[in-house]
Amino acid sequence: MAIDGGCLCGQVRYHSDSSPLFTALCHCTHCQKQSGSAFSIIVAVKARSLEILGDIKAFSDKGGDDRAVSRQFCPTCGSALFTVGDGAPGVTFIKAGTLDDTAQLEPTMALWCESRQPWVKLDVPLRQFDRQPQN
């Protein structure tokens, strides 16, 4: 399954011929702040499979496990695009809202549930992890 997407203004586009490793909801407080919502939907792909066209900027962050995280975004429109971190080497997390076709998404797990907003109730059965699963 090919993955294509880009930012709001179209300055950044991306493509991967690889199928996603998984799709998840991330409830960590930093994803909440970055997305402006209760969670972020992320699509994990092998970093080497992702082709990025256009310039991106990055914000250096620390994850809840205190490891380095790079939150990458379009410098023109500010769209959050990718997250890469030391906790998942070789993996890029694509912000699912930037995909051209979001209908193909089907999250299978929820991460950082220990910081999930108490009012978030989902009707779909997902594997749930208090934090990030260990490799």
CA nearest to 84, candidates 97, 67, 71: 71
Question: What's the domain range around 70?
Answer: 3-118
Beta-carbon contacts of residue 7 (< 8 Å; ≥ 6 apart) = 54, 73, 74, 76, 77, 79, 81, 98
Q: Per the domain annotation, does 126 fall within a domain?
A: no
pLDDT score at 5: 97
Q: What average pLDDT is seen over the chain?
A: 90
Q: Per the domain annotation, does 37 fall within a domain?
A: yes
pLDDT score at 6: 97
Please report, for the domain that includes residue 19, its CATH number: 2.170.150.70
Does the pLDDT value for residue 133 go beyond 90?
Answer: no
pLDDT score at 54: 97
> How many domains, the chain?
1
Q: Per the domain annotation, does 130 fall within a domain?
A: no
pTM: 0.89
Interval 11-43: pLDDT, tens: 999 999 988 999 999 898 888 888 888 899 999
Does the pLDDT value for residue 132 go beyond 90?
Answer: no
* pLDDT mean over 103-130: 86
